[in-house]
């Protein structure tokens, strides 16, 4: 299993180097530049619908922020191949006007994501796809801390009336049954408690397929991202429907 392999590789190097990819500062710049590129595209396309007709006010792009680690940021991929970029493309192809901002930072734990929540999810955000927890599991962080951080994010987003899709993660099986049970239970329990749209495992159908992962065995290839987008798309559409319902449109 991918997480088992990742755990073994982590033990061979200092903990500081065992992240999902680039340094946080580098990926912050990457995430901001990617968000800018996607936002500009949304502005350019936002005035015209897929079939060339002017968009009505209710059709103006929804702002979705993908808040995560390097699985979201797109480690090893061109900016147009990242999960947020590919997701935006898939939604536009279905006639759903969106602006998906890339707020993925390599190496981020849940606590890191909670610390940067305010600047990563700006005012005017309609929905968040929350993909964090993989680095917590790889580092063996106490599940109580992971749960607490996720709950902080979910609570603050609820207070801001931002809809959330929570993407689940799974712990390495060699962490032991007690750790695995405690970690894996975090995501469905919090999704239920906070009424979030829930996708059980972000890497479903990709994590164990060598053809869909880069040589490091941790990060999806462009084809792997396509597979993730295809699987998660119905849940994202459910998220969009919630936002539209809250708008009354």
CATH code (residue 119): 3.40.50.1110
Q: Is the dihedral of CA 61, 117, 225, 26 positive or negative?
A: positive
Structural domain range at position 88: 2-247
Task: Say what the pLDDT of residue 45 is.
Answer: 40
Q: In what order do the strands lie in the sheet with 98-104?
A: 98-104, 62-68, 127-131, 163-167, 197-199
Q: Any residues with CB less than 8 A from the CB of 63 and at least 6 apart, and which?
A: 98, 99, 101, 124, 125, 126, 127
What is the predicted pLDDT for the residue at 132?
Answer: 98
pLDDT recorded at residue 173: 87
At 137-184, the pLDDT tens digits run 999 999 999 999 999 999 999 999 999 999 999 998 889 999 999 999
- Beta partners for 248? none
pLDDT (0 to 100) of residue 248: 80
Q: How many domains does the chain have?
A: 1
Judge if pTM exceeds 0.85. no
Mean pLDDT, the chain cut into blocks of 10 residues (249 residues total): 41 32 43 45 41 48 97 95 98 97 97 97 97 96 98 98 98 93 98 98 94 94 97 98 88
Which residues touch 2 (CB under 8 Å, ≥6 apart)?
203, 207, 208, 213, 217, 218
Task: List active site positions.
Answer: 70, 216, 219
Kindly give, in sequence order, each residue whose CB lies less than 8 Å from that of residue 223, ignoring residues fewer than 6 positions away: 211, 212
d(CA 109, CA 93) in angstroms, rounded, equals 33
Which residues on neighbouring strands pair with residue 166, listed in sequence order? Answer: 130, 198
How high is the pLDDT of residue 13? 33
């Amino acid at each position: 299993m991918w997480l088992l392999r990742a755990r073994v590789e982590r033990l061979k190097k200092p903990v500081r180097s065992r992240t999902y990819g680039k340094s946080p500062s580098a990926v912050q710049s990457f995430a901001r530049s990617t968000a800018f590129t996607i936002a500009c595209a949304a502005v350019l396309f936002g005035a015209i619908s897929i079939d060339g007709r002017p968009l009505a006010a209710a059709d103006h792009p929804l702002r979705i922020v993908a808040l995560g680690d390097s699985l979201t940021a797109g480690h090893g991929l061109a900016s147009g191949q990242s999960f947020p970029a590919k997701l935006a493309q898939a939604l536009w192809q279905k006639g759903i006007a969106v602006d998906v901002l890339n707020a993925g930072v390599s190496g981020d734990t849940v606590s890191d994501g909670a610390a940067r929540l305010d600047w990563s999810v700006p005012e005017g955000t309609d929905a968040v796809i929350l993909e964090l927890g993989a680095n917590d599991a790889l580092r063996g962080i106490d599940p109580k801390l992971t749960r607490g951080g996720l709950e902080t994010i979910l609570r603050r987003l609820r207070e801001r009336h931002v809809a959330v899709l929570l993407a689940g993660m799974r712990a390495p099986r060699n962490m032991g049954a007690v750790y695995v049970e405690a970690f894996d239970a975090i995501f469905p329990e919090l999704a239920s408690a906070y009424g979030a749209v829930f996708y059980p495992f972000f890497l479903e159908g990709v994590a164990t397929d060598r053809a869909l992962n880069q040589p490091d065995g941790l990060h999806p290839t462009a084809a792997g991202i396509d597979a993730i987008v295809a699987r998660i798309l119905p849940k994202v559409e459910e998220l969009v429907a919630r936002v539209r319902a809250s708008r009354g449109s």
